[in-house]
């Protein structure tokens, strides 16, 4: 069905422009009212969520005219989902789904971005979305972790490509593993057998590659026999939990993000953050853990003929309501000495880090522009550190901080927890 | 009309290559019109330069802000004013704020609330330009329409910069009428007849006292926002009345007693839309609330400046409502629902949930005039909707209209919607026929509704040949006819 299935949704766009801003009730002033990086940077309405739907609806009707400008619009979007949240405050219509399908159609029609083609070529060759240096499990040297493909464990820790291979981010995998060890969780990793989750490929528009990866990953998980997967990357968490469910591949697998698992372990008395860290922080909600991370809702139905845009059975929209927002905040609040101050844009209407949708590869300058705005917003809270729960966010923010000479520090939540439980 | 490479390059020289585009790919997002180009000026000087080029090459232009669905001629140069988004000044002492066109109301409102101030929020919603002139739910406490425009900076269709009111004689924005040229009759609105051609580039908006919190205490995640508590000395209620006459009497007395912060003659369909998060919920709530009300009603928000002031306002309200046989809708007194409605109506001005969500489109006939008479017109327009509702062509809202008194309430706005699916050709045609018939009836009964192009002439004949003078003015202001109707802010 592809884009066609969303014709009615795209036709619903009334061009009200709320997709450009945080939900109106949450507009806290002149600054930080914008929510969509793409329209904020490129200004033409075509770069907004609504503009994308208008273009999709028109091209379905009149044919696809792939101009250079059209592809610029398509690929300069982080697919962060913020437009959908703001729209769906008031409207009953799909927003992110048709935007995603439009990109998938571009790829199917061979209208790809060369930088993303390169990434996907690497994926096809190495099962990785990032350049492969060494072995996937090298980061675990000396930690004495179980190999879940060889030993039976309760929990599989899914590490992800970026954390596995990026030398600067491998510390996150080590912190996560140490936390799980400290809590006495019976877990293992898949080491070199782990493959890319495919989530990022899907957002880039390479649907078949994403599905191939999903099948490989689920086969691996089934092989290990675990019932629970814990991911430390938000993108992987979202892929396994939401995307795999969408494609009916997940089954009854329990998928947790580490920021969700830690409060559970604290509550069970298995972890106790004791060390005083004396740090003023603000928390950045990764899109894939927050608004994009809410569970998939399976629905099949038809529009009820007549005046209203309603369906039989009633359609439940994913409006960003049920993302993981509170647990990471609970974790931070549980650490002695950590003082959490919220940024103006938070939870379901958080500003994206800039890296999503392949933008960090297709247009690094745009990714950095987006990250810089978030850094400034974080600084406005008076925080010393920006805490997130996604390696891609951390990487993008770190680069922006370095480029802009900010004093802000960036941590993944596992780094602070590891320090606090030492 | 397409622009030649040379002409395009001239426009490009004004704004830079990043901010002009004529690629066909972007046109569907701009009202599905083949514009000659879309241009994003950054400031008044650039607007002026663009308008001068339009005159030089006899190319028509239209400006737009956030812009709902609109109708535009092909070949026009579209000025998307998105980059003109600065708050120039908030003058707390003299109670005005100067903004550029793309500052949305929600931004200015949030800044004002921090300072204990507020502004008239137009019915179009806080997602629209703060510079927009028109009416809204706050009309009883802030006045509406041209009451809230002070000095204006205007690029005329010929490309001259005109500064009205006090700005015409100094750098001060405090007054729209002087010392300096008033131009109040020319600097009107986006609604025909008498749409101001050219571009408003900056305007001073009148601001008001705000007795509420600097920020509403919102809890929950979208779309389930609620208030953790009702702000001190604030109250929202919906009262229904045995008859329309009784409702109007109560509305009038509330206007005269000057106790309301916001009074909105919602029908229950609109209340249902605003307290629900989906079409299905809305439909169920509408049915439920329809059984609870005794007749037509209105929503009122009281905002006390002190506990004593609040008590006084409540007492007056109770007295007026009781005398008119009014009854509060009990289910809306639940603090959670009350808070949702309060925040929705103040910070959003309702709008999208009650207009676009049900079917995707709505047709509206707004009429201004003496409230009791326009209400009678609206009852007829509502009855004319009933066959469309029965046939399932439009959303069932009980055939109701809505409206509110402005200031003391004798004059006011009355409006009626037809919400429908724009993809349904039969429904679209039926709604258009209803719109034409009821607009014509409004005109015949001497209420001046939003009319179709061409009809201003008809109105003009009834108003001292206003249209003749307006056409002469337009000819002087726009000698090359480059600024077609609809040229003011959207």
ipTM: 0.96
Low-confidence ranges of chain B (pLDDT < 70): 1, 69, 189-195, 448-456, 486-490
Q: What is the CA radius of gyration of chain A?
A: 21
Q: Mind listing the domains of chain B with CATH numbers?
A: 5-83 (3.30.43.10), 87-209 (3.30.465.10), 218-354 (3.30.70.3450), 360-403+418-444 (no CATH)
A411 neighbors A387 (Cβ within 8 angstroms): yes
Integer Cα distance of A57 and A97 in angstroms: 13
Classify residue A187: in a domain, yes or no. yes
Alpha helices (H) along A109-206: 114-126, 161-165, 170-182, 199-204
Where does residue A93 fall: left (phi above 0), alpha (psi -120 to 50 degrees), or beta otherwise?
Answer: beta
Give residue B456's pLDDT. Answer: 64
User: What does the pLDDT read at residue A350?
Assistant: 98
Does A57 sit within 8 Å of B29, measured CB to CB? no
B contact residues 207-236, partner A, Cβ 8 Å cutoff: 215-216, 218, 221-225
| B419 CB within 8 Å of a chain A CB | yes
Number of residue pairs across A and B with CB atoms under 8 Å? 196
Q: Long-range CB contacts (< 8 A, 24+ apart) of B302-307?
A: B302/B233, B302/B234, B302/B235, B302/B236, B302/B259, B302/B260, B302/B261, B303/B210, B303/B211, B303/B212, B303/B233, B303/B234, B303/B261, B303/B262, B304/B211, B304/B233, B304/B234, B305/B209, B305/B211, B305/B233, B306/B233, B307/B232, B307/B233
Task: Report the pLDDT value the prediction gives residue B140, as an integer from 0 to 100.
Answer: 93
Distance from CA of B153 to the nearest CA of A (A): 21
CA-nearest residue to B275 within chain A is A90
Phi, psi of B469 (to 5 degrees): -65, -40
Look at the pTM and tell me if it is higher than 0.90: yes
CATH no. for residue A180? 1.20.1050
What pLDDT is attached to residue B464? 81
Nearest C-alpha in B relative to A18: B127
Q: Which residues in chain A touch residue B269, judged by CB atoms under 8 angstroms apart?
A: none
| Interface touch A16/B83, C-beta < 8 Å | no
User: Hey, is the C-beta of A363 within 8 angstroms of any chain B C-beta?
Assistant: no
pLDDT for res B367: 87
Place of tokens 């258009």: B432
Name the closest residue on chain A to residue B29, using Cα atoms. Answer: A51
Residue B97 host element (H or E): strand B96-99
Q: How far apart are CA A76 and CA A41, in angstroms?
A: 10
**B391–A contact, CB cutoff 8 A:** no
Q: What pLDDT is recorded for position A306? A: 85
**Residue A346 placed within a domain:** no
Residues of A in contact with B283 (CB under 8 A): 308, 310
Distance separating alpha carbons of residues A340 and A351, to the nearest angstrom: 18
Residue B43: burial class (beta carbons within 10 Å; 0-12, 13-18, 19+): middle
Whether A67 contacts chain B with CB within 8 A: yes
A356, part of any domain: no
Q: Quick count: other Cβ atoms within 10 Å of Cβ A254? A: 12
The token pair at A119 is 């990434």
Measured in angstroms, the CA of A276 and the nearest CA of chain B are apart by 30
Q: Provide the domain count of chain A.
A: 1
Partners of residue B126 in chain A, C-beta under 8 Å: 24, 27
Gap between the Cα atoms of A160 and A414, Å rounded: 15
| Pick from A15, A86, A320: CB nearest B69 | A15
Contact A23 B215 (CB under 8 A): no
Give the model's pLDDT for residue B488.
41
Contacts of A51 (CB under 8 A, 6+ apart): A39, A44, A45, A73, B26, B29
Mutation to test the B interface, candidates A92, A106, A311, A317, most B Cβ within 10 Å: A92
Given the structure tokens 């396994």, which residue do they identify?
A240
Looking at residue B490, its pLDDT comes to 43
Residue at A115 is within a domain: no
Alpha-carbon distance of A42 to B18, in angstroms, equals 8
Of B82, B278, B355, the CB nearest to A92: B278
Contact yes or no for B28 and A27 at CB 8 A: no
Residue ranges of B 56-85 with Cβ closer than 8 A to chain A: 66-69, 80, 82-83
Q: Which residues of B touch A89 (CB under 8 A)?
A: 222-223, 225
Which tokens hold the place of B95?
């109670």
Q: Which domain holds residue A179?
A: 128-267
* Chain A residues lying within 8 Å of B128, measured CB to CB: 17
In whole angstroms, what is the distance from residue B236 CA to residue B116 CA? 20
- State whether A320 and B222 contact (CB < 8 Å): yes
Indicate yes or no: CB of B421 within 8 angstroms of CB of A68.
Answer: no
Alpha carbon of B123: minimum distance to chain A alpha carbons (Å): 13
> Shortest CA distance to A144 belongs to which of A193, A189, A107?
A189
Residue A202's pLDDT is 98
Q: Are B25 and A55 an interchain contact pair (Cβ–Cβ within 8 Å)?
A: yes
Mutant choice from A3, A30, A349 vs B, greatest count of B C-beta within 10 A: A30
pLDDT recorded at residue B183: 86
Give how far Cα B427 sits from Cα of A7, A311, B69, B101, Å. 19, 19, 18, 35
Q: Is residue A278 part of a domain?
A: no
The predicted pLDDT at position B193 comes to 44
User: Does any CB of chain B come closer than 8 Å to the CB of residue A85?
Assistant: yes
Give a yes or no: residue A280 inside a domain: no
pLDDT digits (tens, 9 = 90+) for A51-70: 999 999 999 999 999 999 99
In the numeric block, which tokens belong to residue B245?
């006459």
User: If you compute the radius of gyration of chain B from its CA atoms, what whole number of angstroms results?
Assistant: 23
Mean pLDDT in order along chain A per 10 residues (422 residues): 93 94 97 98 98 96 96 98 98 98 98 98 97 96 97 98 98 98 98 97 98 98 98 98 98 98 98 97 98 96 90 95 98 98 98 98 98 98 98 98 96 98 88
Angle between helices A96-108 and A82-90 (to 10 degrees): 140
CB count in 10 Å sphere of residue A400: 24
- How high is the pLDDT of residue A210? 98
Provide the β-strand partners of residue B419. B362
Give the helix, strand, coil percentages of chain A, each rounded to 5.
50, 10, 40
Could you give the C-alpha distances from A107 to A75, A116, B50, in angstroms and in order?
A: 11, 10, 38
B127 in contact with chain A, both atoms CB, cutoff 8 A: yes
Chain A, 195-234: which have a CB under 8 Å from a chain B CB?
none
Find the closest chain A residue to B342 by CA distance: A25
B432 in reach of chain A (CB within 8 A): no
Plot region of B239 (φ>0 → left; ψ -120 to 50 → alpha; else → beta):
beta
């Amino acid at each position: 069905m592809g884009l066609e299935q969303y014709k009615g949704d795209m036709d619903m766009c009334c061009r009200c422009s709320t997709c450009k801003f945080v939900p109106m009730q949450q507009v806290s002033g002149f600054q930080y009212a914008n929510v969509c990086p793409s329209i904020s940077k490129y200004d033409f309405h075509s770069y907004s969520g609504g503009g994308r739907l208008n273009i999709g609806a028109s091209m379905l009707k009149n044919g696809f005219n792939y101009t250079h400008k059209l592809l610029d619009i398509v690929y300069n979007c982080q697919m962060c989902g913020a437009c959908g949240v703001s729209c769906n405050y008031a409207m009953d219509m799909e927003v992110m789904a048709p935007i995603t399908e439009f990109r998938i159609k571009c790829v199917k029609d061979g209208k790809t971005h060369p930088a993303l083609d390169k990434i996907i070529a690497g994926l096809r060759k190495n099962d990785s979305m990032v350049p492969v240096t060494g072995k996937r499990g090298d980061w675990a040297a000396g930690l004495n972790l179980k190999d879940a493909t060889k030993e039976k464990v309760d929990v599989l820790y899914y590490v992800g490509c970026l954390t596995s291979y990026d030398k600067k981010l491998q510390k996150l995998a080590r912190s996560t593993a140490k936390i799980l060890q400290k809590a006495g969780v019976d877990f293992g990793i898949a080491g070199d057998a782990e493959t890319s989750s495919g989530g990022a490929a899907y957002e880039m528009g390479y649907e078949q590659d994403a599905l191939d990866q999903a099948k490989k990953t689920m086969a691996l998980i089934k092989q290990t026999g675990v019932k629970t997967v814990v991911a430390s990357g938000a993108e992987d968490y979202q892929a396994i939990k939401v995307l795999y469910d969408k494609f009916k591949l997940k089954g009854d697998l329990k998928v947790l993000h580490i920021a969700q698992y830690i409060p559970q372990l604290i509550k069970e008395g298995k972890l106790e953050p004791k060390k005083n860290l004396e740090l003023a922080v603000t928390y950045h909600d990764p899109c894939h853990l927050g608004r994009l991370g809410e569970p998939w809702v399976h629905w099949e139905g038809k529009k009820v003929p007549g005046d209203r845009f309603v369906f039989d059975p009633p359609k439940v929209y994913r409006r960003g309501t049920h993302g993981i927002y509170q647990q990471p905040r609970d974790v931070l609040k549980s650490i002695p000495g950590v003082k959490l101050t919220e940024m103006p844009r938070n939870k379901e209407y958080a500003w994206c880090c800039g890296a999503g949708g392949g933008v960090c590869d297709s247009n690094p300058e745009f990714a950095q522009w987006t990250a810089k705005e978030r850094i400034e917003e974080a600084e406005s809270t008076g925080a010393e550190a920006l805490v997130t729960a996604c390696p891609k966010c951390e990487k993008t923010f770190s680069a922006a901080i370095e480029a802009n000479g900010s004093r802000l520090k960036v941590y993944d939540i596992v780094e602070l927890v590891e320090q606090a439980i030492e | 009309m397409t622009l030649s490479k040379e002409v395009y390059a001239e426009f490009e020289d004004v704004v830079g290559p990043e901010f002009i585009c004529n690629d066909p790919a972007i046109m569907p997002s701009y009202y599905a019109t083949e514009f000659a180009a879309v241009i994003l000026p950054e400031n008044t000087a650039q607007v002026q330069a663009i308008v001068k080029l339009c005159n030089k090459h006899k190319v028509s232009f239209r400006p737009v802000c956030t812009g709902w669905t609109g109708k535009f001629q092909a070949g026009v140069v579209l000025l998307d004013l998105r980059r003109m988004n600065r708050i120039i000044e908030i003058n707390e002492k003299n109670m005005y704020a100067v903004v550029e066109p793309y500052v949305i109301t929600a931004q200015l409102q949030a800044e004002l609330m921090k300072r204990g101030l507020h502004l008239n929020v137009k019915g179009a919603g806080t997602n629209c330009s703060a510079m927009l002139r028109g009416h809204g739910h706050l009309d009883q406490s802030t006045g509406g329409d041209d009451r809230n425009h002070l000095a204006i900076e205007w690029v005329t269709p010929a490309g001259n910069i005109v500064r009205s009111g006090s700005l015409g004689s100094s750098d001060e924005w405090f007054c729209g009428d002087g010392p300096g040229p008033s131009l109040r009759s020319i600097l009107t609105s986006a609604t025909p007849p008498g749409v101001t051609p050219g571009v408003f580039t900056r305007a001073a908006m009148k601001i008001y006292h705000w007795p509420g919190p600097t920020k509403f205490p919102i809890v929950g995640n979208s779309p389930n926002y609620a208030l953790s508590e009702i702000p001190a000395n604030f109250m929202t209620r919906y009262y229904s009345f045995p008859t329309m006459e009784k409702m109007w009497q109560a509305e009038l007395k509330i206007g005269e007693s000057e106790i309301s912060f916001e009074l909105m003659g919602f029908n229950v369909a609109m209340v249902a839309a605003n307290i629900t998060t989906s079409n299905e919920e809305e439909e169920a709530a509408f049915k439920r609330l329809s059984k609870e009300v005794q007749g037509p009603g209105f929503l009122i928000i009281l905002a006390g400046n002190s506990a004593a002031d609040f008590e006084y306002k409540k007492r007056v309200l109770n007295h007026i409502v009781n005398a008119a046989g009014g009854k509060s809708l009990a289910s809306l007194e639940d603090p959670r629902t009350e808070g949702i409605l309060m925040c929705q109506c103040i910070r959003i001005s309702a709008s999208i949930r009650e207009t676009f969500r049900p079917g995707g489109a709505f047709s509206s006939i707004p009429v201004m005039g003496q409230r009791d008479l326009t209400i009678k017109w609206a009852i007829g327009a509502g009855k004319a909707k009933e066959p469309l509702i029965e046939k399932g062509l439009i959303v069932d809202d009980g055939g109701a209209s809505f409206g509110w008194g402005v200031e003391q309430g004798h004059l006011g706005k009355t409006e009626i919607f037809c919400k429908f699916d724009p993809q349904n050709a039969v429904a679209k045609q039926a709604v258009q026929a209803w719109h034409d018939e009821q607009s014509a009836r409004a005109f015949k009964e001497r209420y001046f509704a939003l009319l179709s192009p061409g009809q201003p002439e008809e109105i003009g004949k009834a108003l001292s040949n206003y249209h003749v003078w307006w056409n002469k003015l337009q000819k002087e202001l726009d000698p090359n006819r480059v600024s077609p109707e609809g040229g003011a802010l959207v």
